[in-house]
Structure 1
Amino acid sequence: MLQNVIDQRRHSLGIIEVGRVLPHRERRMVGPFVFFDHMGPAQFAAGLAKEADVRPHPHIGLATISWLFDGRMMHRDSVGSVQEILPGEVNWMTAGSGITHSERFEYQRAHGGPLHGIQTWLALPDGMEEIDPSFAHIDAAQVPLIEEAGMRGRLIAGSALGLSSPVPVHSPLFYFHLELQPGAAVPMPAGEVAAYVVHGQIEVGTERIGPGQMAVFAPGAKARASAPTLLMLIGGEPVGERYIDWNFVSSSKQRIEQAKADWRAGRMKLPDADDQEFIPLP
């Protein structure tokens, strides 16, 4: 019924703490999803130190989504995008051949406030790893709503359960934010499927999956919520083996080494609106 149960590993990123789920030694990917971080929840006072910001840094071979439950972030990238990220909105950044971006907490610095969300990376499929970088913003009103007995949520990206998101994805996938009432069944779209429990609990046979855990389902698995539950349902068709090194994802180790050399040598353009500092290669 279950292939894996993955516990988040808490990491401190300076002032912000995250729970990392993917990649994991027992499960590198679910469909194209190659990275999954649970940010917060955190509450900041006004005057948040600038060290909390994520300074400009590079990516290749992937697309990213930062999905917020609460709070806000400011995104700037090297294709000219300047976009505040708010709860319920989708900001889809495709790195392709190479992009740089920053994520800053300017609102919290000025006013104080919360931060709580999920950050995911999706590996691009073969033949698309080197496409031109791009950025797409989808307003909350455009994110498809799903409402069924005991279940309500949003299809953040992809297509499943008769819904299709306007996010310009590059391979068959799905990414749901779902709120389930006790007894409601967890949907099982086609492809690889995993559910991350933000709060609440689901049951798969005799196993119980709680907050901070991801269940990777075997084909034919059935799961139900045993309490009011918020979960993220991810998956889709596999894209093949991918390597991850720092912020780089690729099917080629040599391509990653080239990206590292390019960043070290300053050959990757910084965001025009945020080009005064950057994160050095570790």
Structure 2
Amino acid sequence: MSKLTSKAANLTEEIEVFRIIPQKQRRTVGPFCFLDHFGPTPERQQITFDVAPHPHIGLQTLSWLWQGEILHLDSLGTEQWLFPNQVNLMTAGSGISHAEVIPQDHTQHMHLHGAQIWLALPPDKASIDPAFEHISQLPELAFGSFKGHLILGTLGPQQVQATIYSELVAFDLLSTSSGTAQVPLEDTFEYLVYVVESSPLGISINGSRCRAHEAFYIEPGTSPQLHLAGQGRILVLGGTPYPAPLRMFWNFVANDNGALHRAATAWNADDAQFGEVKQYAKYGKGPERLLSPEPPASFLSRG
């Protein structure tokens, strides 16, 4: 079991983001290749959240909230509000573009707190057709004093009814007072146990302390159970190790650098591959689309 520390940055003046993967120590956990924890935002009159249209390939995005509400817009024509304890699951596959906004008439006195998660599609599914699903009802979990929701995948007899392409699990647990829990783990899964919030003492995870914005990585086959003690909230991601080399550039995920170069070039050329988020002008105030950084020329030769 090894400890990871998140890197903090500001998305806006009000919204702080903590990135736990990817980082040098750990690029992926199962199919999960990206986890940004944002918020909670401070008490104030109004917050700004306006992520203009941008593209993805080769992944699924999972959006999750503990507080607040966000409007998802995409090139399939989707307009879907996300509220706490619900899931927005977008499959990029061969190419999609989307935006996420909180229209100004919804931002008064709002606390925003959530996570943005990416799942790399298996190599044989990387170019499937794009799709979107909203899951409004999720299984509830209770282990000792810790309670929460199964967010994606399967945990024991519980399963989220959503389209996924890898063996995986994602769940959150909260203990509002100091307590304990034991959670069964899959022997073939690797896990990331991320502490969303905790008391100053942190949460004991399999006997080792972990504080807010830190995580433990657990290798496959090393622990049949997750032993928790303390007060706070955790987010757990797990799955079978990703089966191939994985490359990431900006908002693109692929198994070779050439695919990343082609995607970035196509998006900047306004290629029809990614469609158009036509509804964004109705709700957002940013640019029509965010342009990709120029991909390195070496991507074309290295593969």
Gaps of 5+ in 2: 282-286, 294-303
CA distance, structure 2, for counterparts of residue 215 and residue 111 of structure 1: 36
The percent identity for this pair of structures is 34
What is residue 7 of structure 2 aligned with on the other side? 9
Q: 2:139 aligns with which of 133, 144, 168?
A: 144
How many Å apart are 1:160 and its aligned residue? 2.1
Q: What is the TM-score of this pair, normalised by structure 2?
A: 0.85
Q: Residue 47 of structure 1 contacts residue 108 of structure 1 at CA under 8 Å; is this kept in 2? A: no
What is residue 93 of structure 1 aligned with on the other side? 90
What is residue 123 of structure 1 aligned with on the other side? 120
CA distance, structure 1, for counterparts of residue 205 and residue 196 of structure 2: 17
Q: Which amino acid aligns with 2:211?
A: G
How many Å apart are 1:26 and its aligned residue? 0.6
Moved over 6 A (4+): none
Residue 267 of structure 2 aligns to a residue whose secondary structure is helix
Q: Residue 45 of structure 1 contacts residue 109 of structure 1 at CA under 8 Å; is this kept in 2? A: no
1:235 matches 2:233: no
1:185 matches 2:182: yes
CA displacement 1:91-120 (0-9 Å, x = unmatched): 100000011000101156552311101110
Q: Residue 74 of structure 2 contacts residue 277 of structure 2 at CA under 8 Å; is this kept in 1? A: yes
1:195-206 → structure 2 map (5 Å cutoff):
195-200=193-198, 201-204=202-205
Gaps of 5+ in 1: none
Residue 182 of structure 1 aligns to a residue whose secondary structure is strand
**Total equivalences in the alignment:** 276
Residue 288 of structure 2 aligns to a residue whose secondary structure is coil
1:154 matches 2:153: no
Q: Residue 193 of structure 1 contacts residue 235 of structure 1 at CA under 8 Å; is this kept in 2? A: yes
CA distance, structure 2, for counterparts of residue 109 and residue 23 of structure 1: 32
Q: Residue 67 of structure 1 contacts residue 87 of structure 1 at CA under 8 Å; is this kept in 2? A: yes
Distance 1:100 1:110, change over 3 A: same
Residue 126 of structure 2 aligns to a residue whose secondary structure is coil
How many Å apart are 1:203 and its aligned residue? 2.4
1:220 matches 2:222: yes
Q: Residue 158 of structure 1 contacts residue 169 of structure 1 at CA under 8 Å; is this kept in 2? A: yes
CA displacement 1:138-174 (0-9 Å, x = unmatched): 11xx211122333322111111222111121111100
Deviates more, 1:206-215 or 1:65-74: 206-215
1:194 matches 2:192: yes
Q: Which amino acid aligns with 2:4?
A: I
Q: CA-atom RMSD, angstroms?
A: 1.9
CA distance, structure 1, for counterparts of residue 197 and residue 47 of structure 2: 27
What is residue 251 of structure 2 aligned with on the other side? 247
CA displacement 1:183-227 (0-9 Å, x = unmatched): 222442341112101122332455311111110013323543331
Deviates more, 1:194-203 or 1:259-268: 194-203
Q: 2:264 aligns with which of 248, 260, 264?
A: 260
Q: Residue 198 of structure 1 contacts residue 231 of structure 1 at CA under 8 Å; is this kept in 2? A: yes
Q: Which amino acid aligns with 2:159?
A: S
